[in-house]
Amino acid sequence: MPDRSERHFDVMVIGAGMAGMAASIFAADRGLKVAQAGVTGESVYTSGVMDIMGVHPVADAHVWGNPFDAMKAVAKDIPGHPYAKLTESDVRDSFKEFLGFFEELGIHYCHEKDANSDVLTAMGTLKHTYAVPETMWAGTVLRKKKAPCLFVGFRGLKGFSPKQIASVQGKFWPGLKAAVVEFPGCEEKGEIYPQQMAQALEFEGNREALVERIRPHLADAAGVGIPAIVGIYHCREILADLAERLGVPVFEIPSLPPSVPGLRIKEAFDRHIEDRGVTAFRQKNVLSARYDAAEKEFVLEVGFGAVEYTLRTKAVILGTGRFLGGGLFAARKGIEETVFGLPVSQPEERDAWHQKDFMNPAGHPVNRSGLETDEQFRPLGAEGSAAYARLYACGSVLAHQDWMREKCGCGLALASAFKAVDSLAADLKADK
């Protein structure tokens, strides 16, 4: 039965991707009464690695070793970029707090202090990123050492070729071998999937059987790389068990979405965020939103298809994403913001959304569309000032960034959420 009684909160976080999760964690950590709504976000499509900044200028495909230097460069060259409103401390502090939340839940990350690291991909190429899941870190270390490794694939698993990885990396990394084995319990299946395999490895018997199939191919390998399938709920323990049984480090290689490392993050968040005091309206959308000027509150109707809850909140944070997340909608006459109908920074004409060359290295103008904000990450209205005093935005819904090409998606989501929540918390504190 729908609960039509009004419920009151300090802040409503709209969005269930990285930005929405980060904003919810940060707001709860500051003692705010938080509600969150959103359907399954882009997090399940991520590889699990977390970028800060990797490429700038995009047109030149210039790759940066130090993400903080890259961040400063983009802020200088693109004054409207969200990073121009953020400091290095904002980024570092946001990562520390966000990753700390997941470390308490057994999901650990590794990174250099001031440098990006290279992570193997399922294509045999390298992903330049900042924070790397602990389950993948041994691969980064072994590659630096040029230690001999075995890459293992599984019959029926698409999008992961150990032979291709060994072939591509073998030009620079000697002693690589590849093998394809049957995954335990899937011998009669034509096609298998990473999530299914990850769930199977939660059971010790399956891990023992898997090791017995890998061991004959091990020879002198100093490490074993496998797809990202090392469990969903106990990845650290499963990885350690496999490594102990094989006698060498085991590491994951991110594979095609849906992503098991992304699913780990989402599952851990969903299972534990309410322990922090957040009221989560899972798989629910904000169906309508308005500002009650008399009460100085936002009124939001929440549900899936039909209104199930009515919320009143002192503030709202939009972590709604861009097109995939549903924060923006590409209509025939222009791009629209979907919750409050806010102005969207975009090319003047639809014909200017895309370059004539689909593969243009500079990307497409439509991918820099989004919300303009002030220094506190409050979206601007038509007159150029904050649309609402306590409406904030964070993540990929922000204008003037192309996170996919710049390799800055996670850093942008975390740091903008961090700055927005800090601004909101200070404002609410001053009001008491």
Q: 67-109 pLDDT, tens per residue?
A: 999 999 999 999 999 999 999 999 999 999 999 999 999 999 9
DSSP β-ladder status, 109-110 and 149-154 = unpaired
pLDDT for the residue 106 = 95
Separation between Cα atoms, residue 247 and residue 234, nearest integer Å: 20
Integer Cα distance of 389 and 411 in angstroms:
25
Work out the percent of the chain whose per-residue pLDDT is above 70. 98
Mention every residue, 6+ apart, whose C-beta is less than 8 A from residue 54: 63, 64, 67, 70, 116, 128, 129, 406, 407, 408
Mean of pLDDT values over 261-272: 95
Token readout for 274 is 């309410």
Q: How confident is the model at residue 286 (pLDDT cuts 50, 70, 90)?
A: very high
Quick check: 1 pLDDT over 60?
A: no
Q: Label the pairing between strands 149-154 and 224-227.
A: parallel
**Cα separation values, 149 from 156, 211, 248, Å:** 22, 15, 10
The torsion angles phi and psi of 142, rounded to 5 degrees, stand at: -65, -35
Interior angle at CA 378, CA 377 and CA 382, nearest 5: 130
* Whole-angstrom distance, CA of residue 387 vs CA of residue 315: 12
pLDDT at 432 over 80: no
Instruction: Scan for tokens 């999530």, then name that residue.
Output: 195
Proportion of the chain above pLDDT 90, given as a percent: 86
Render pLDDT for 172-212 as a digit per residue (tens, 0 to 9): 999 999 999 999 999 878 899 999 999 999 999 999 999 99
Instruction: Quickly count: other Cβ atoms within 10 Å of residue 70's Cβ.
Output: 24
- What pTM does this model have? 0.95
- CA nearest neighbour of 402 among 84, 55, 69, 68: 55
Nearest to 209 by CA among 187, 190, 225: 187
CA distance linking residue 125 with residue 119, whole number of Å: 8
Mean confidence (pLDDT) of the chain: 94
User: Does residue 354 carry a pLDDT above 90?
Assistant: no
Q: Are 34 and 24 in contact (CB under 8 A)?
A: yes
The reported pLDDT for the residue numbered 41 is 60
Q: Strand 3-14 relative to strand 34-38: parallel, antiparallel, unpaired?
A: parallel
**What's the pLDDT score for residue 200?**
97
Q: Measure CA 350 to chain center.
A: 29
Give the type of residue at 234.
H
pLDDT category at 48 given cuts 50, 70, 90 is very high
The answer to whether residue 394 scores a pLDDT higher than 80 is yes
Contact, 12 vs 390, CB < 8 A?
no
258: cis peptide before it, omega within 30°? yes
Model confidence at 241, pLDDT cuts 50, 70, 90, reads very high
Who's near 294: CB < 8 A, 6+ residues apart? Answer: none
Q: Which one-letter amino acid corresponds to residue 137?
A: W
Report the alpha-carbon distance of residue 239 to residue 185 in Å, rounded.
19
Question: How would you label 195-234 residue by residue, b for 16+ Cβ within 10 Å and e otherwise?
Answer: eebbbbbbeeebbeebbeebeebbeebbbbbbbbbbbbbe
Please name each of the domains of the chain with its CATH number.
7-104+264-431 (3.50.50.60), 122-253 (3.40.50.1860)
Look at residue 4 in the predicted model and tell me its pLDDT.
64
The answer to whether the CB of 392 falls within 8 A of the CB of 318 is yes
On whether the CB atoms of residues 225 and 248 are closer than 8 A, the answer is no
Residue-level pLDDT at 42: 66
Residue 2: predicted pLDDT: 55
Range list of H helices, 12-66: 18-29
Say whether pLDDT at 18 is over 90.
yes
Two structure tokens written together for 389: 């005093």
CA atoms within 13 A on the CB side of 421: 32
